Chain A
Amino acid sequence: MGFRSLLIALVLLALVGGAGYPPTAGGAPPAEAIIALDKYTTEKGRTLAATFAPQLRQIHNRVYHCRPWLDVRKGSLGFTRPVGLPGDDRYLNIWVWVEQEITPEFAGLGSAARRASAMFSRHGVDLLRQLAADAGILAHPVVHGYSVILEWIKPTGRVGNEETAETLGVFADKSTVQAFLARRISAAEFVEKATIVAFDGRERLGRLPLEVWEDNFATTFKPKDYEPQDKSVGC
């Protein structure tokens, strides 16, 4: 290959490579993030999802455009039930990946419980508020509660070429969530009443002693120069 050919090849490579496609990360589009009706295993879940389809899209839109540091996991937004609990109680669920830098401060929290507490305080409470915002879902007698699942990279969790994620799931009935968000019960009471699951990679941890504190990050932080593409969501 001559010098000119090599030069042209390099320039073309730069031009093509600069496009940055296809994305392998990023939030799932609504059609993938929202659980498809045919995926529900019971009529109860399917009916709720069909009834509240516009609300599910709205929740996804708000998270996608107003919380760009969160990615809704594929097939996670809808009316699910927690594994291991008897019956078919349906929770309005959202499962997000939290995109963040592992700062020394975060890594320095030291334990899975502290990291989970920090993540739930920062992102979980805000998401619960978004889920509970719809009066129709709140009033619907078949909806049992709300659940938020957060997932993030574990500091010092890298093994070879693989990172390890930590996952926290919090499930609570509607009245508990309502009371907590309205400050009628304390964070400690909320935690006591909630079902909490946590994982280190694929390994299930015991019930974490979750603490919840005030964190206004979600409502005050705006990435530099970021503008929501869909202005109608009203971030």
Chain B
Amino acid sequence: MRTWITRALLLGGIMLVASACATSEEWGEWGKHPTHFASGGHATFSVRNTEGSAPRVSRSEIDRARAEEWWGKVVTVSAEQIIQQ
């Protein structure tokens, strides 16, 4: 029983990693344009857009993808330096 569970989990993990890698080429395509998004891989996008179906990317997926490779800390101006509410 334990062997079966281990194998199933291993298989699931391999499939997930493989599907995530498969889309890096698609996301990399965006890099050819002057504007693109930071992420090179996105699991949710990969799982949903399986082979044979028309790929779709939503705004919330873009947000998640950006979050994966966010810049970290950015030194920038505070709102109060430019506008007052």
Contact = CB atoms under 8 A, between A and B. Distances in A.
Given A101-B36, A223-B37, A199 B76 contact: yes
B66 A99 contact: yes
Contact of B43 (A19, A93, A147): A19
Interface string B29-67: 111011111100011100001000011111110111111
Query: Quick one: which of B5, B29, B55, B59 has the most chain A CB within 10 A?
Result: B59
Interface string B1-41: 01001100110110011001000001001110111111000
A167 B76 CA distance: 8
Query: Quick one: which of A35, A76, A81, A226 has the most chain B CB within 10 A?
Result: A226
A68 B30 CA distance: 13
B62 to A, nearest CB: 5
A129 interface: no
A167 B77 contact: yes
A229 B55 CA distance: 14
Given A199-B77, A221-B33, A223-B30, A25 B67 contact: yes
A105 to B, nearest CB: 7
B59 A68 contact: yes
25 contacts: A11-B9, A11-B13, A14-B16, A18-B16, A20-B44, A20-B64, A21-B67, A25-B63, A25-B71, A26-B66, A27-B63, A35-B85, A69-B37, A81-B84, A82-B83, A82-B84, A83-B84, A162-B73, A164-B74, A165-B75, A167-B76, A221-B33, A223-B57, A224-B29, A226-B59
Given A26-B67, A221-B35, A224-B30, 5 more contacts: A4-B2, A20-B44, A99-B35, A199-B82, A201-B77
